[in-house]
Amino acid sequence: MTTKPPLTFQAIHSAAEIIRKSKRGVVLSGAGISTSSGIPDFRSPQTGLWEKIEPLEVASFFTFRYDPITFYRWLQPLAAQIFSAQPNPAHQAITTLQKLGYIQTIITQNVDGLHQKAGSKNVLEVHGTFKTMTCPACFLKVAAQPYIAAFLQDGTIPHCPNCGSILKPDVILFGEQMPYQPWLKAQKISRRCDLMIVAGSSLEVLPVASLPMQAIENGAHLLIINRTPTYLDVRADVVFSDDVATVLPRIVEELLSLRQE
């Protein structure tokens, strides 16, 4: 059954029932889960990061290598939003589902760390992380926090304490490969789960967009919560075309009421 908006009780109830019966649930989260925390997504009209900026001109490994100042100028306002952001009700709802035992793993395309701030465990960051930085010259890896704090305070570009080269945040830029181990784990978990919840992802970026297909091809249920349509809406058990920060807490509330019956 595929349920479209409006946000009906029956749709909420159906989603809660599916979650209640799951034992190996996975959440796949995208940029849409963090917009309610003040972090812009990439493609939304007028507000998306790529509406006025060509991503390959600022967010590519080529730009970082040959014009790191331009890269860091672009990064500064986004990094400020990320490091000041706090989890919203969607992140909290996922943490609740994990504590209740319905969700074992969160696969996220985001680099904002909000799942971890909300208390979630076992988070696979398949597009990298802002927690560390690496020197592209000598490959020294350092904790990012002190360097990012100085960068946000006075614009100090992070330099390697070992060789003096400009440090790169361990987020995946255009032209870079995804981190191997998290991606390998994400594929394995997607093939073994019995439920996948797509939370705030348009499923347009490969190869991560293939994970829900891997899940349903191995018999898993699929719930999709995203403002815009995805290519897998027709294959999902329930689809909510709404804000994940509104929908997920309502599903969790209904799930808790079912547990008390």
Same domain, 79 and 186: no
Chain segment 181-199, per-residue pLDDT in tens? 999 999 999 999 999 999 9
Query: Do 92 and 77 share a structural domain?
Result: no
Same domain, 151 and 99: no
pLDDT at 47 over 80: no
Domain termination residue (choose one: 171, 201, 232): 171
Q: Are residues 193 and 231 in the same domain?
A: yes
- Residue 5's pLDDT band (boundaries 50, 70, 90)? very low
Selecting among 91, 127, 159, 221, the annotated active-site residue is: 127
Instruction: State the residue range of the domain holding 76.
Output: 40-84+129-171
In terms of domains, do 1 and 116 share one?
yes
Domain C-terminal end among 139, 171, 203: 171
**pLDDT surpassing 60 at residue 56:** no
Give the number of other Cβ atoms within 10 Å of residue 253's Cβ.
Answer: 14
- Of the listed ranges 11-25, 107-121, 145-159, the one predicted with least confidence: 145-159
As for how many domains the chain has, the answer is 2
Residue 62 — very low, low, confident or very high, per pLDDT cuts 50/70/90? confident
Verify whether residue 91 is a known catalytic residue: no
Q: What is the pLDDT of residues 119-162, one digit of tens each?
A: 999 999 999 998 999 999 999 999 999 999 999 998 899 999 99
Q: Does 250 lie in the same domain as 187?
A: yes
d(CA 59, CA 38): 20
